[in-house]
Amino acid sequence: MSWNPDQYLRFAEPRLRPAADLLARISGEPGAIVDLGCGAGNVTRLLAERWPRARLQGVDDSAAMLGQARAALPGVDWQCRSIAHWQPDAAPDLIYSNAALHWLPDHARLLPRLASLLAPGGTLALQMPRNFLAPSHTMIADTVRAGPWRTRLEPLLAAPPVAEPAAYYDWLLPQAAALDIWESEYLQVLQGPDAVKEWTKGTWLKQFLDRLEGAERDDFEADYARRLAGAYPRRADGSTLFPFRRLFIVLRRG
């Protein structure tokens, strides 16, 4: 899937908050840090500010996102590589991943593999959305199944990609000297018309829109927006409240 940095960053502040919350739960002074799935680099900047002497690498498979990241932070080692098959040149002290790993399958293998790549005593810190059963996402499926695009788009529908927190505990505990897992639900206050549609348009919705063109794409967006209006009504002050659940994991390797 191609990414649009401008669309993604329309809601930069609420997207940044869980990244900062995750960062606040990491201790120590890592010498080598990898931001896995770094996107446009707005979170990588926080890592650079927190540990200015660390060797910092940002890895992402979107050239468009990395182009924006390089312009903002030229001192970082930016790597355009698949995060699914990423291997470090040397074991890092911190692997940090914000809102990226839910795009990859088989977390029962993926996350223990990432933990195994750490230096002894290193930290794996990650955050993933776990909002896939909320109307913002289930109404994408409703829209897919209700229109003439169903045959083309229905194969994209899948089960929620992020498991229950207890599953991650079981998968990661064998490699952990310390393991902290928690969830937070943010009451995001979004501005502008069709705010929740515009939010998902920068992430989960995009894979569906990319397969439509012209009037058909417009019709899909309009149908989805109508469905969302009842679930997330715009309030008298012009804002839209969008509750959003996220899963956090911080593992320290033994």
Mean residue pLDDT across the chain: 94
Q: How many CB atoms lie within 10 A of CB 121?
A: 12
Per-residue pLDDT tens digits for 48-105: 999 999 999 999 998 988 998 999 899 999 999 999 989 999 999 999 999 999 999 9
Per-residue pLDDT tens digits for 106-116: 999 999 999 99
The CA distance from 254 to 252, in Å, is: 7
> Above 90 in pLDDT, residue 47?
yes
Mean pLDDT (whole number) for 204-209: 94
Mean pLDDT (whole number) for 130-156: 97
- Report the pLDDT value the prediction gives residue 44, as an integer from 0 to 100: 96
Mean pLDDT (whole number) for 219-240: 97
- Report the pLDDT value the prediction gives residue 252, as an integer from 0 to 100: 98
- Report the pLDDT value the prediction gives residue 64, as an integer from 0 to 100: 87
- Report the pLDDT value the prediction gives residue 2, as an integer from 0 to 100: 55
- Report the pLDDT value the prediction gives residue 200, as an integer from 0 to 100: 95
How far is the CA of 46 from the CAs of 17, 22, 49, 56, 182, in angstroms? 11, 11, 5, 11, 21
* Bridge partners of residue 46, in order along the sequence: none
DSSP conformation class of 168:
H
CB 58 within 8 A of CB 48: no
Mean pLDDT (whole number) for 129-138: 97
- Report the pLDDT value the prediction gives residue 32, as an integer from 0 to 100: 98
Q: Helices (DSSP H) in 147-205: which residue ranges?
A: 150-153, 165-172, 195-201
The CA distance from 234 to 150, in Å, is: 29
